[in-house]
Amino acid sequence: MVLDSAGDTSLLLDREDVPPVHEDNPAGGSPFLLTCDHYGRRLPRLLGDLGLPESELERHIAWDIGIAGVAEALSRDLNAHLIAQRYSRLVIDCNRPPDAPSSIPRLSEATVIPGNQSLSLDAAETRRREVFDPYHRRIREAIDARLAENMPTVLVALHSFTPVYNGIARPWHIGTLYHRDIRLPALLLKGLRAEAGLVVGDNEPYAVSDDTDYTIPVHGEARGLMNTGIEIRQDLIADPSGQKQWADRLARILGEIEATLRAQRLLPN
């Protein structure tokens, strides 16, 4: 049932809803700061089920399947701070500019989202204020604090992608995503391509852009931080063993990259 269109649109989360921001390892000493925009698929109680059956709410349209387990394990392995967002991207997409049409999608892939049709400006603004803003405020504050302490900071935005989108199969196992800063993606591509049997996407299945992304342009590029996005194919990380395997692999490669960056004086020794 869709509840959002009824009544007061100035509030979204109530006392029974969890806060949008999830963090692991906030005091972690790694230069890598991990973000996870599509970590969760929770829905605020007030929104009901957005008019969708559970089968739709478990699909990639609602979240990045498998990435939560990878992100948490990677945070542990690297001793890195992870900042993640628990609510479904169908509530509001935390990796879209809030003024983009896809910020609160009315259609995702081929699925109409009933609870997002004819949303009032107030209701959209409330989703932004209660979900999007706290998440990005926390990332901004964490970066502020690290810079104030002269702590090296490299932004890694973690995502996963569906193996088949609109009927087209995607061959890559993993992809690096970037736009203006290629320092880290180049090292990551080299590290991933050295792994046996991996099909590695270079800005595939997406490239980062100002119109379709938020976290990398705003927290990485605009602040002059080295950055990359990482997309892992969802069928590879659907269960805990796959998540651990990919986290271990990324921790090893990112550890090697950290050593390279220090040797190149791109990070302090």
Binding site for Zn ion (CB under 5 A): 38, 64, 159
Closer residue to Zn ion, CB minimum distance, 38 or 152: 38
CA-nearest of 139, 38, 26, 152 to 79 is 26
Closest to Zn ion by CB, 8 vs 211, is 211
Q: Measure the CA angle with vertex 77, ends 72 and 83; round to 5°.
A: 35
Instruction: Check if the beta carbon of residue 148 is closer than 8 Å to that of residue 137.
Output: no
> Cβ of residue 63: shortest distance to Zn ion, in angstroms?
8
Least separation in angstroms between CB 197 and Zn ion? 24
Residue 105 or 152: the one with the smaller Cβ distance to Zn ion is 105
Distance CA 158, CA 24 (A): 14
Contact 242, 66 (CB under 8 A): yes
What the block records as the tokens of 175 is 């992809």
Shortest distance (Å) from residue 147 CB to Zn ion: 26
Cβ proximity to Zn ion: between 40 and 115 the closer is 40
Residue nearest to Zn ion (CB): 159
DSSP bridge pairs for 81: 33
Say how many C-beta atoms besides its own lie within 10 A of residue 102's C-beta.
Answer: 15
SS (H, E, C) 134-167: HHHHHHHHHHHHHHHCCCCCEEEEEEEECCEECC
Q: How far is the CB of 37 from Zn ion (least distance, A)?
A: 6
Closest approach of Zn ion to the CB of residue 188, in Å: 17
- Based on CB atoms, which residue is closest to Zn ion, 38 or 86? 38
Question: Residue 2 or residue 57: which is nearer to Zn ion going by CB?
Answer: 57
Find the shortest distance in angstroms from Cβ 95 to Zn ion: 6
